[in-house]
Structures are given as structure tokens and as C-alpha cells.
Amino acid sequence: MTEPKPVSARARFIEKFPNLFANPFVEVKNTKSFEKITVDRLLDGKVFILRNLQEIRALRKNILSRVCSQFDQTTADEAENFFNNHKSQKINLFALSKLASSLLVLKNEREVSKIFAPLINSLRLSPVVCVDSGHFRLVFPKHYDEIKNNPELLTNFRGQHQDTVSAVIARENETEPLLVAGESTDHQLGKKLFSRVHRDVDSRHSHLQLNFWFALHDLTKKESLEIYPEFYTSTKPYCRQKEKNSFKFHDYYGKKFQTKLSFGDCLLFHSQVFHETPRENPIQTRLSVELRVGSGSNDSLYHYRRLFVDIRNFAQNEE
């Protein structure tokens, strides 16, 4: 009689929590399907794909309008060309740097929070909902050295040309990088580091925190955010650098999931889910946005990030 093979701890874990190893994506095609989005499903590690959000289209329109008013129509046309052809080898870096300057202003004005507030309220989260300012990730690895060595480009990317008040606000609001000059940096233009798989909430917490993640242009599957749902509910130390540079890294966080995102599509997931910016396209220029929402917290989430404010600050005036 053949003795049964011993069952590994990993196999037992998979048997106990099969949902963590299945495809985590749940598609939501329109606002009428928002009832699919529940706190229980978010707590279960599901990643919602919100299709064709008008909020994203409105944000891009407002960005181009701000570029036009802050600079000129020609620069706005160049920025729009970047959105429509972000894979192009011919990118106007001066126009891109002016776009970055406008993004700094819009971030400090909390434009992303204002636009997304009604959608967030429609999710019927717990009382005391806080929202951060939204973060733009402008990735331009192929042009990193050219920008770093050009003072005029650097001025726009760092926002130093702004008036004194805006500059002070930018410093207060810049607890997280606005722009990324490669697949990752040390929170500023001028130093390259490898990014890592991470989760935005990795310590004990009692509140619900969610991430919205989207690009301002189309993304192929390989260009989209990498999701690692397997250890969502587990304590998992971050991978050490020597493991990261070896085959072990590919198994350390479990199976990776990605999905194609058209312009207007957005990912919504619990901040505790492991995720990472895409590694498959290390030289691809792109502009993505992330917005974090906290619900049911006993404080203002200042301990996590100073950028959270009560969502009621963005309530629309009723006629």
C-alpha cells in the first residue's frame, strides 16, 4: 500500500482559503452595477475594475484646461498628444515638464478628491470617511538623465517656479512623491532605486482603507498594476534584496494578476492587498493616478499620512 504524500503548509493554506488564489478581479461596467462593490467583498480581497468612469475623463479634461491656462494651448495640445500616444519615442520633454507643473498645482488644490467625492459617497462606506489629495505618478525612465541634467526641465518638474504660497503648500502636501523618474526613486528626482511589492497598510489597524488606481491613457495588461492577493490576510515580511534578485522573488508573494485598462477604467482594492507598479515594461513612459480613502477611523489618519481630510469638505452645493 502506497503511503499518501505529506501535504505542505502552503497546500493546506490554499485549501482553507481558496478565494485568495482565484482571479481577484470583479468587473463593474457601469454605475448601475455599483451594488457589486461591498465592504465585505473588499475585505475579502476582491479587486474591482470600474469601467469607463466619467470622473477620470473629467480629470483629464481639467488637467488639459489647467495646462492651457497656466501656459498656452500649444502646450496643452502636446500634453494631449502624450495622453493619446504615451508609447511614442518622440516626447516633448518641455511640454511634459509643464504638464508636471500643472499636476503639482492640481494636487495641492485636491482636484482628484473633488471629482471623486460623489463616487466615493455612493459606495456607502462607514461614517467619518477621509480622502487624501490623490497622487500623480509620471514615469519617464528613458528620459531620466536628460531631465536630471537640464535645470530648466528640473524647475518645472519640481514646481520651483510657483509663487511662494503655492510652494509652501507643496512642501506641506508632499509627504509622498508626485513624480517618479523611473520605475522608482527615493521620493525625489535624482536617485534611482528598485521598487518593491508592498501594501499601503501593513500594520495593525481598525479602519477600512481603499485604493483607487488608474492611468490617464490606455494600458495594456503588462503595463497595468501588479496585484498579489495570496497573502492579503497574512503577516508577510517584505522580500529581502538578495531574494528580490533571484528566482525566489517570483514565488515569494504568490501568483501575480494584471488586467488591461482602457482610458476611463480604474482599479479599486483594499490597501492591505500586495501590489506593485509593472515590471514588464521598465522603459515605458506613463501617467497614473492613485487616490486613497479611509473609512471608520477614530482619527484623521494623520499617523498614516497628513494628506487625509474629511470627505464632507467636498460636498456639492445643492441648488
CATH of residue 107: 2.60.120
Number of domains in the chain: 1
Q: What is the spatial distance between Cα 145 and Cα 161, in angstroms, rounded to a whole number? A: 21
- Residue that the C-alpha cell 475623463 belongs to: 57
Q: Taking the model in full, what pTM does it have?
A: 0.82
- Whether residue 2 lies inside any domain: the answer is no
Per-position b or e across 164-203, b if 16+ CB within 10 A of its CB: eeebebbeebbeebbbbbbbbbeeebeeeeeeebebbbee
Q: Please report whether residue 311 resides in a domain.
A: no
Give me the pLDDT at residue 161, please: 39
Q: Count CB-CB contacts under 10 A for residue 280.
A: 13
Is position 313 within any domain? no
3-state secondary structure the chain: CCCCCCCCHHHHHHHHCHHHHCCCEEEECCHHHHHHCCHHHHHCCCEEEECCCHHHHHHHHHHHHHHHHHCCHHHHHHHHHHHHCCCCCCCCHHHHHHHHHHHHHHHHCCHHHHHHHHHHHCCCCCCCEEECCCEEEEECHHHHHHHHCCHHHHHHHHCCCCCHHHHHHHHHHCCCCCCECCCCECCCCCCECCCCCECCCCCCCCCEEEEEEEECCCECHHHCCEEECCCCCCCCCCCCHHHHCCCCHHHHCCCCECCCECCCCEEEEECCCEEECCCCCCCCCEEEEEEEEEECCCCCCCCCCCCCEEHHHHCCCCC
Asked if residue 76 lies in contact with residue 62, where contact means CB atoms within 8 angstroms, the answer is no
In a domain, 310, yes or no: no
164-167 contacts at long range (C-beta below 8 A, 24 or more positions apart):
166/105, 166/108
pLDDT of residue 319 exceeding 50, the answer is no
In a domain, 309, yes or no: no
* pLDDT class of 68 with cuts at 50, 70, 90: very high
Q: Is residue 3 part of a domain?
A: no
Nearest in space to 256 (alpha carbons), one of 235, 242, 277: 277
pLDDT at 243 over 60: no
- Return the pLDDT at 306: 66
Residue 306 lies inside a defined structural domain of this protein: no
Residue-wise pLDDT tens digits, 162-179: 433 333 333 444 445 555
For 124-163, the pLDDT digits (tens) are 888 789 999 898 888 776 777 777 778 878 777 766 434 3
Q: How many residues would you count in the chain?
A: 319
Q: Which domain holds residue 87?
A: 9-301
| Residue 278 included in any domain | yes
